[in-house]
Structure 1
Amino acid sequence: MSTSTPDTTTRRVAIVTGGSRGIGRGVAERLAADGYAVVVGYGGRADAAEQVVAAVGEAGGEAVAVQADVADEQAVARMFDLAEERFGGVDVVVNAAGRMDLAPLADYDLDVFDRLIRTNVRGTFVVGQQAVRRLRRGGSIVAFSSSVVGLAFPGYAAYAASKGAVEALTLILARELRGRDVTVNTVAPGPTATELFLEANDEERIAHLAAQPPLERLGTPEDIAEVVAFLASPAGHWVNGQVLRANGGII
């Protein structure tokens, strides 16, 4: 955790949930490189979150790690409180926290289903609710879906359903923010080489998916972070209420 005094008159501030690993870490480090002070939200991996904070600090940025279950409204509110107290406000909220538990619908454990929906759907709703209440003018909300919503792979029914809910929220929330000068968009990555993805798929399936896009590779967290950085920037502010399928052309 950095100890320098923040300049709250010009600093832009981002909260990135799921910021300790994978795409979330890529986003946190990319936004820090753009000059944002970053709140790295994490669920259980404090060591990984502190590694992100250290990496940001070594690159000349400022970040702080905060534990928060995204589906817990009180924990999420405390995370926003800390961002405001430490850095003076919040301009960008990126909800990259998520679960991926795969099985055919007929065999899917309903307790696992409930946990997945709690994180992916309720978590998106809770983080979005705090963002709506807290974001400064000119801000951006970025949520995460998945290109599997359109690809409809067998075994992904629960995960795709949870991400379809995120997509349904996107344009509605953008319209509810009329007059606030705040954008709302969702990024839907294709197969991306994150720990979450690699743990959920066997080697044969990973190789098959990597061969599908015309670019003939898996995406990387850095690929997706570039899309998020654009949406969070003034250059991307005219994009609003959209679901962007960042997947290398996989169909």
Structure 2
Amino acid sequence: MLEIASAVVSYGRIQAVRDASLRVSEGELIALIGPNGAGKSTLLNAASGLLRAHSGSIMFAGHHIAGWRPDKIARAGLLQVPEGRQVLGPLSVEDNLLLGRQAAAGRPPRHALDDIYRLFPILQERRQQKAGTLSGGQQQMLAIGRALMGCPRLLMLDEPSLGLAPIIVKQVFDALRDLRETGLTILLVEQNASLALAISDRAYVMEHGRIVLGGPSAELRHDPRVIEHYLPSIDADASGDAPVFPE
């Protein structure tokens, strides 16, 4: 479904992503973990067309999409839930959801409004409320629902647990589990390594712009390097300093 090969993404002279490669097969939930500043969000933004990869290739559903406009990529079915939610605050919850349909581009709808409301009942209760007045957790649910209305073939989520209370994080991740059970393909960037590895099929570890580890999530949860460097500390790491795995 998605294959990124030897991607390099830079901000001026600074290489944020260096020779990074990953793949996501249809129906998989793939996690991308790592500390702040590792390049995880940059890699997602390159896949969705918000940033341009300077070299390497990005293929989605058999098409080379590097250089495509973000709207064309979204209409092809690669949709991103951005870090920070970015809902349209002055519009109602329901209007935000309906705007998500613009990305569907004629694909048969996978999720209707009623499906979103079943997944996140609070959104139905507040469907006429302005999105900007919702709590952070409710805005995160709305951002996910808006993307689902676009009929994604692959859904990318950037730090969905960021800044949320534990009870809301559980609700969001329960919803992701439900979506996984429906066969939706998901690429999840998440700094909470424990949650990400618990929910995903496979995972990649990124540090200093590079993919340094990858494999089945069940195996990575027991990998001594992941346990030492990530599982105890990544959720609290605010320094942006990444460990360096031995060769």
The alignment's TM-score, normalised by the length of structure 2, stands at 0.34
More helix by share: 1
The alignment's TM-score, normalised by the length of structure 1, stands at 0.34
